[in-house]
Structure 1
Amino acid sequence: MSHYPTWPEILAGKHWRTTHFPRIKEDMPTFLGVPHAIREDDLQGADVVIIGAPFAAGWGSKYSGVDKAEWLAATTRVRQQSIRYRGGYVQEFDLDIFEYLKVVDYGEADIPVEASYESTVERILEAQEAVERKVKQALVAGAVPVVIGQNSPCASYGVGRPVAEHINGPMGMISLDTHWDAWPYDWATMSPHIAGSTNWKDKLFRDCPGYGIPNLVEIGERGMLESPEVVRHYVNNGACFMPMWKVRTELGIEGVIKNLDQAYQGTAGVYAHFDMDVLGGAGPGDGDLLGELAEPMGMTDYEAIRIAHEIGKRGCDGFSFLCIPPGSAVQYRVVVYVLTYFLAGLAMRKIAKAQSADKEAPNA
């Protein structure tokens, strides 16, 4: 595994900030230096709320063959890598996202460290509820919650369910993943109460009737890991399934972008979920960083960033990340880009709405 730099090394390295930026902890700046929200009142007027969800599933010290300390560090390290950039100016679009969006960082969900090592049902549900509390507060404030996490249910079901309950209407979902996560049970606990790594999507569709399979856009799965019954259930019921083979042989990135529209057809809201094991080594980092989660024929970093940007342009009501490849500074920067270009899409959407309203307004 590559060496991840220490916090002093990051500060001494190539970054364009001074040391004057908000910090959640000594070694944890806010994402891109946005204001630190410490209480619910601080969320008022925000367009986007960043929330950390440090949770690694299962018993013991490793997840998928990688030390859990490496997985859990992602919420800190993504923010550390974000602070190397000047701010919200995206040069490709000549757009400063913070001129149009109010973004705040709401710190970490109050997940007990023990929950990542003692995989009891009670511990897992406690961790999930800690994320849901902050997600719900962001939604009540009228903002898009963005959860940076590592495992289910905290950074999947714990985001998708409160978003659906808040929208209270037909929901679309855009999911990037190597795996379907749609078995009818959580293999780690075998508890019907847990929406775990193997079953969170199945449980979300059962618990939240607003989600409809015809409005599911599923991108990135590949290979021989899945049960045919699981895949065929979703495909036969109308999901838009774009495995990496189809992306490479038929669609290309433009075809993928066009098919995103299926999540928006007849829906009142859309939830986007990026399981970053979808990269599988096709991004800038070594696939073996992911341990047992790595699979060949992965998505590229550009494809993930572009999809996020296009989701932002179309609108999104909740966004989550998990399985961020651990230990690589450049992989954490990919997540910074995915989130920043998503925000750029939201800003473009907001600008377009304002311009449209100006055109429709009667002359003074």
Structure 2
Amino acid sequence: MRLTWRAGAVIWAVDAEEWLAAPKRIRQQSIRYGSGYIQEFDLDVFEHLRVVDYGDADIPPECLVAPTAENVLRAQAAVEKKVNDAMAAGAVPVVIGQNSPCGSFAIAKVVSERTKGNVGCVSLDTHWDIAPMDKLTMDPRIAGSDSWKYKCYELLDNFDQKHLVEIGERGMLENKDMVRMFLEKGTHFYPMWKIRSGLGIEGLVNELRHAYEGTEAVYCHWDMDVLGGAGPAPGDILGELAEPFGMSDYEVIRLAHEVGRRGLAALSFICIPPGSPAIYRVLVYVIMYMCAGLAMRKIEAASGNSRDAFSRTTA
């Protein structure tokens, strides 16, 4: 499904219409690929999964240009309805958005409400988004771009930081007291420095377990500004959100595949860099390689084999 949210007329010197067009551009790039066959795995995803484009969330047009607290809540409710529909049908919703709460908290909230037990979270981001208050509206009900993750742990009873795997932040952007508070509450934090200086992608994949141990469902959120500074497009395409030594496209795609192998309740995206066909293709890969993971999981469950059944093709 696709949704959009707009917080101003111009984003990073890119017209807002191009910013909002990211979900459409991803759809267009997906046409490039003639099938669901992923050659690395010798696997046709569509032979094992039913994948449906459920269309756009019905966000009132005025919500896109006047981000008052009431309009933000209306937009959030429209997304929640769409995600609820998908989950009620037994589907894993994949939500392509551009800002919060529509592309983040709205999905986490539905997963929380539909899960009796604890909910784990795997989050890729350049920024923690753990300010106690939304700076745009200054309304405590709003889970905004810099506060949505804080609001998850404030408002959703079955979200607990000890089940949060936070990946990708770096540099001098954050409030030390807020970061330390999340760490003290048990957040498993993997900054880019740790990944680059020894942990690596294989070690990072192993750390995903913290979102799964002791939880009933896992919500995954990819904030695509995590690519800034690494590619495949130039870091400067992200303007003020670009930071050095971001994640690579392979790392982002690999992690999506691995959460698919383990199972997930929902996946959402925000901050998709505008105007780059290569970046839009990365999103197509992220979705399809996550689906490949789900397909492998389904095949293994049907055959009674363990996750090692695909080790020859994924190694």
Bin for the TM-score computed over the shorter chain: over 0.9
1:161 pairs with one of 109, 123, 127: 109
* 2:45 aligned partner: 97
- 2: distance between equivalents of 1:349 and 1:212? 26
The alignment partner of 1:52 has SS state of: coil
* 1:52 aligned partner: 2
- 2: distance between equivalents of 1:245 and 1:107? 38
Mapped contact 1:65–1:292 kept (Cα < 8 A): no
Map 1:1-364 onto structure 2 (within 5 A): 51-56=1-6, 58=7, 60-356=8-304
Q: Which has the larger radius of gyration?
A: 1
1:237 positional shift: 1.5
**1:211-268, CA deviations, whole angstroms, 9 ceiling, x for partnerless residues?**
1111100000001010001111111111110000000002000010000010000100
The alignment partner of 1:214 has SS state of: strand
Q: CA RMSD in A?
A: 1.2
Flag structure 2 segments of 5+ consecutive residues without an equivalent. 306-315
The letter of the residue matching 1:249 is S
1:286 positional shift: 1.4
Mapped contact 1:151–1:323 kept (Cα < 8 A): yes
- 1: distance between equivalents of 2:209 and 2:235? 30
Comparing 234-243 with 262-271, greater Cα deviation is found at 234-243
The alignment partner of 1:272 has SS state of: strand
Mapped contact 1:144–1:317 kept (Cα < 8 A): yes
1:99 positional shift: 0.6
Mapped contact 1:66–1:291 kept (Cα < 8 A): no
Mapped contact 1:187–1:198 kept (Cα < 8 A): yes
- 1: distance between equivalents of 2:216 and 2:173? 33
Mapped contact 1:213–1:238 kept (Cα < 8 A): yes
**1:307-330, CA deviations, whole angstroms, 9 ceiling, x for partnerless residues?**
000000000001100100100001
The alignment partner of 1:92 has SS state of: coil
The alignment partner of 1:305 has SS state of: helix
1:64 positional shift: 4.3
1:113 positional shift: 2.9
- 2: distance between equivalents of 1:279 and 1:170? 29
- 1: distance between equivalents of 2:136 and 2:193? 30
- 1: distance between equivalents of 2:78 and 2:131? 25
- 1: distance between equivalents of 2:233 and 2:174? 25
Q: Normalization by structure 2: what TM-score?
A: 0.95
The letter of the residue matching 2:91 is A
**1:13-37, CA deviations, whole angstroms, 9 ceiling, x for partnerless residues?**
xxxxxxxxxxxxxxxxxxxxxxxxx
1:66 positional shift: 3.2
- 2: distance between equivalents of 1:333 and 1:291? 20
Identity of aligned residues (%): 57
**1:314-355, CA deviations, whole angstroms, 9 ceiling, x for partnerless residues?**
000011001001000010000000111000000000001001
- 1: distance between equivalents of 2:249 and 2:37? 20
The letter of the residue matching 1:76 is K
The letter of the residue matching 1:129 is A
The alignment partner of 2:208 has SS state of: helix
The alignment partner of 1:102 has SS state of: coil
The letter of the residue matching 1:53 is L
- 2: distance between equivalents of 1:280 and 1:114? 31
- 2: distance between equivalents of 1:295 and 1:351? 40
The letter of the residue matching 1:54 is T
The letter of the residue matching 2:293 is G
Q: 1:63 to 1:314 in 2, by over 3 A?
A: same
* 1:45 aligned partner: none
